[in-house]
Amino acid sequence: MSFSRREFLRASTATALGIGLPGELFAQAGTAPASPGGAWDAGLVRHLLPTVSDTRMLIKASFNAPLTDAPTLRVGDAAVRGRMGDTSGEHWHFYASDLSPGRRYPLSLAGADGRALCQPWELATFPGPDERPSLFRLLIYSCAGGHEAFTFLPPAVRNRLLRRGLSFEPNAAVANGDHVYWDLLSPFNSHVIGGRSPQAEKLAGKFDRSGVVIGGDNENVLKRAAGPQIMPVYGTAFRSTPIFFLQDDHDYFDNDEATDEIITFPPSYFMLQLARATQNLYYPEFLPDVARPLGLPWSSAADRPWGVSESFGTIRYGRLAEILLYDIRRSQTLAGPSAVYVDLEVERWLKARAAATEVTHVVHVPSNPPGWTAGKWGEWYPDVLGSDGKLTMAEPKPYWQPGWLKQHDRLMGYLSAMTGRAPLVISGDLHAIGIGRMLRSGTLDLKANPVNVVLAGPIGTRPGGWPSGRRGTGALPSAVLDLEERVKPIEQHGFTLVDFTPDKIVLRFFKWDVKSQAVDAIDTLQPFHTAELARPI
């Protein structure tokens, strides 16, 4: 179907009039962020985030006004009826299955009356599991959340950074953790710049922790708190780029903190409901994968359709690359020497994928960072900020669990033991950009095949949010490790592009200094560092 811009505007204006939208709302829609390559009219779509596998697509979208009847997504010749994600009809989900691998599909969205809700666009499925593509390009970053009212980088600037990343035409993107900052219980700052500060309660209202999240007043508080942190950052810029959202501590509406008064993780029931509701409303869960068990924790939940996984994901790009994403907060335990961050069944999956040989590159993407420490409680390592203001292992880290480091060593061991692959871990949580090579962890010798560890770069960090901002010391290699730092953690906004080809992995690191660079400079950012990881022979 050919579709001119004029026809689109006529159709969508009619739609706007048909459902009685105020004129200024539609005018706002016209100012939605432009995509690389020219204007695309988002119409009534406020935000849209897709994910794909080789045969499926899952799209989360919101609209500038509630839709009373289900909209329909057309994927090629197939029609997919939307499923409402909230209780007011602003948020809709679209799931398409039985698609052909490695195929670019034309997509279009229409209201129940058949009129277009936005201009058509395209989205491709990934290659099938036995195909051998020559290139897979991944855009990856962390910490894109934060409400503008609390001095996080303005959403328009975050969007510009992301669009610079998209201008390199990645096949997929990973948003690694902390899409929302609205801490509610954390003793450190939730009452100052978090969700229970007077300003936050004025902006969004107050959660009732004994109430349901969706279907009560909490739903409106959640939308007012989380919506401005996600929708203007993404808009519709990723409509043709599958994206994978991994959750970390702040996505549960708290910082990882442990004091004698409160330990924030594992998440309480209410935290869990907030994290699940945010994911359900705004960004896609992980689609099933041929090599990931369907029964991992928080996968195939009865109240989620389509067999999606909420905390453990896979990007499978033919036989070229398999990216394994894991949220370390949801299944963490506090069991001392046998404590874990990821459930033992999840660890078995990670171990099995490292041992399997059908994919050229296997990469770990956990939600917190192997390699470095900033002295936080919820790290892999026992380093703590000592009484002299320096990171040390000579003093105990309260409530830190030795089992977490044991699991770290097992995971790094699985990666280092891979034959014919360069081990690579790209993590989130830590607001910095860096790369190093882990040669040893405790008594575990990794020198035969060192584990490359990468901090991909944060997108939304506020001025006081850098590792050194709170503790006065930047991120450092844990004293547990021999870590060869190739780029010491840089406290600037940025992102990383990773190119997978049959014989190597090439990482390109981008940074932008909010203190000294103009916003315009984002549009021409070039990598400041390139790292090439050849497959060991």
Window 176-205: residues binding Fe ion (CB under 5 A):
178
Closest CB to Fe ion among residues 54, 429: 429
Nearest distance in Å: CB 146, Fe ion:
12
User: Minimum distance between the CB of residue 143 and Fe ion, rounded to whole angstroms?
Assistant: 7
Minimum distance from residue 478 beta carbon to Fe ion (Å): 17
Q: Segment contacting Fe ion (CB under 5 A): 226-234, 243-251, 333-341, 465-473? A: 243-251
Rg (CA), the chain: 22
Kindly indicate which of the ranges 182-190, 248-256, 314-322, 444-452 contains the residues binding Fe ion, using the contact rule CB under 5 A.
248-256
Least distance from C-beta 330 to Fe ion, angstroms?
Answer: 13
Residue among 178 and 183 whose Cβ is closer to Fe ion = 178
Using alpha carbons, select from 167, 200, 163 the residue that is nearest to residue 184: 200
Closer to Fe ion by Cβ: residue 148 or 248? 248
Please report, as residue ranges, which positions from 419 to 438 form the binding site for Fe ion (by CB under 5 A): 429
Which lies closer to Fe ion via its Cβ, residue 321 or residue 490? 490
The CA distance from 162 to 154, in Å, is 13
Of 113, 110, 105, which is closest to residue 92 (Cα–Cα)? 110
Report cis status (omega within 30 of 0) of the bond before 382. Answer: no
Distance in Å, CB of 44 to Fe ion, minimum: 33
Cα–Cα–Cα angle for 526, 527, 528, rounded to 5 degrees: 115
Q: Distance (Å, rounded) from C-alpha 49 to C-alpha 232?
A: 12
**Using CA atoms, how far apart are residues 506 and 438, in angstroms rounded to an integer?**
18
For residues 453 and 531, what is the distance between their CA atoms, to the nearest angstrom?
11
* 248 or 289: CB nearest Fe ion: 248
**In terms of CB distance, is 285 or 429 closer to Fe ion?**
429
**Closer by beta carbon to Fe ion, 360 or else 367:** 367
> Is 257 one of the binding residues for Fe ion (CB under 5 A)?
no
| Least distance in angstroms from the C-beta of 430 to Fe ion | 8
**Shortest distance in whole angstroms from residue 183 CB to Fe ion:** 11
Site string for Fe ion, 451-490 (x = CB under 5 A): ----------------------------------------
Closest CA to 475 of 520, 428, 431: 431
Nearer to Fe ion, 35 or 401 (CB): 401
At position 193, the amino acid (one-letter code) is I
The window from 37-45, 223-231, 242-250, 416-424 that contacts Fe ion (CB under 5 A) reads: 242-250
Between 212 and 262, whose beta carbon lies closer to Fe ion?
A: 262
**249 binds Fe ion, rule: CB under 5 A:** yes
Site for Fe ion in 342-361 (CB under 5 A): none
Residue 249 or 379: the one with the smaller Cβ distance to Fe ion is 249
The minimum distance between CB 249 and Fe ion, in angstroms, equals 4
Residue partners of 431: CB distance under 8 A and separation at least 6: 142, 143, 458, 461, 465, 466, 467, 491
Q: What is the dihedral of CA 59, 65, 69, 71, to 10 degrees?
A: -30
Which of 357, 373, 435, 460 minimizes the C-alpha distance to 408? 373
CB of 367 to Fe ion, least distance (A): 7
Q: Which residues of 20-49 are buried (b: 16+ CB within 10 A; e: fewer)?
A: ebeeeebeebeebbbbeeeebbbbbbbbbb
Give one DSSP letter per residue of 366-413, joined into a string.
ESS-SSEE-S-TTSSS--EE-TTSSEESSS--TT--HHHHHHHHHHHH
Count of residues of this chain found to bind Fe ion when the rule CB under 5 A is applied? 4
In angstroms, the Cα distances linking 209 to 127, 212, 274, 279, 296 are 44, 8, 10, 18, 27
Site string for Fe ion, 139-178 (x = CB under 5 A): ---------------------------------------x
Asked if 248 touches Fe ion (CB under 5 A), the answer is yes
> Helix, strand, or coil here: 471?
helix
CB of 192 to Fe ion, least distance (A): 18
Residues of the shown chain interacting with Fe ion in the complex, contacts defined by CB under 5 A: 178, 248-249, 429
